[in-house]
Amino acid sequence: MGINQSYAVFGLGRYGIAVAKELVRHGAEVLAVDSDEELVNAAIAEIPYCKCADITEPEVIKQLGIANIDVVIIAMASSLEASVMATMLCKEIGVKTVIAKCATDMDCKILSKVGADRVVFPESESGIRLAKNLLSSGFVDIMDLSNDVSMVELAVKPEWEGKNLIELNLRKKYSINVVAVIEDKNVRINIDPEKPLLRSMRLIVIADRSKLARLT
C-alpha cells in the first residue's frame, strides 16, 4: 500500500473520518462514503471526495467506481449487516484489498469469512464471543448478527442437489435469504438463481433466528 494507491473509506464515524483525513493529509486519493448526509457535509471540507450513498446496494457500488479502487476501508462497525454486505460486494467486483473494522472478535470472524483481507479491532471489548457455532444439523457455521437475525453457512441438502434457487423457493419455504454461494472456496454474491445447486456448494443465508429450526 502507499500514496500512489487509491482508497475508499465507508463510514465516517470517528474511526473512518480519522483514517480518511490521515490518508488525505499524506496526499492519497480518497473517496469517503456515508449514508448520513450530515456526516458527509461535515467531512467534505477536509476530504474533497465525499459521497452520501448506501454502499450495501450493488448498483451504488458500481456507480461509485469502487471496482477501480485499490483499497477499501470499511469502518461501519456499528452495523455488522452493512459491513458484511459491503465486504462481499467489494470482493465480488474485484477490489484487491478490503480492510474491515470490527466491533467485536465475533464480527472479525464473520467479516474474515465473507472476504475481508484484514480486520482491525481498535476498541478492545473483551467478553463478547461467538454466540453459536453449530456443527450439526446441516449447519457448517452459524453466527448471530443481532438478537433476532443470524447468518448461517449451510451445506446443500441432498434433496436440493440439481435444483436451482427459483425451484426451491427457500425464502417462502424456510423464511431465509440466500446472500452468497461458496463454490471452490470462492464466495459469490452475484448468484445465478437458475444455476443448479451442487452438493459441493455451501450457501450463506440470513435468517430470522426463530425460523432456523425449519432448516433442520
Q: What is the mean pLDDT of the chain?
A: 80
Q: How is domain 139-215 classified at the CATH fold level?
A: Alpha-Beta Plaits (3.30.70)
Which of 16-25, 38-47, 150-159, 203-212 is predicted most confidently? 38-47
Average pLDDT, stretch 108-119?
Answer: 88
Percent of the chain with pLDDT over 90: 29
Give the pLDDT confidence of 15-30 residue by residue, as tens digits.
Answer: 888 888 878 877 788 8
Report the alpha-carbon distance of residue 150 to residue 142 in Å, rounded. 7
Q: 26-50: b or e for each residue (b if 16 or more CB lie within 10 Å)?
A: eebbbbbbbbeeebbeebeeebeeb
CB-based contact 161:199 (threshold 8 Å): yes
d(CA 89, CA 63): 13
Architecture of domain 6-120: 3-Layer(aba) Sandwich (3.40)
Domains 6-120 and 139-215 share a fold: no
Best CA proximity match to 21, nearest among 52, 1, 47, 54: 47
Length of the chain: 216
**Phi, psi of 165, rounded to the nearest 5 degrees:** -65, -30
Look at 31-40, 51-60, 173-182 and tell me which has the smallest mean pLDDT. 173-182
What does the pLDDT look like over 129-163, one tens digit per residue?
Answer: 222 322 224 444 566 677 677 777 888 888 999 99
Task: Give residue limits of the domains in the chain.
Answer: 6-120, 139-215
Q: Other C-beta atoms within 10 Å of 174: how many?
A: 18
Count Cα neighbours of 60 within 13 Å in the Cβ-side half-sphere.
14
Q: Is the pLDDT of residue 2 over 60?
A: no
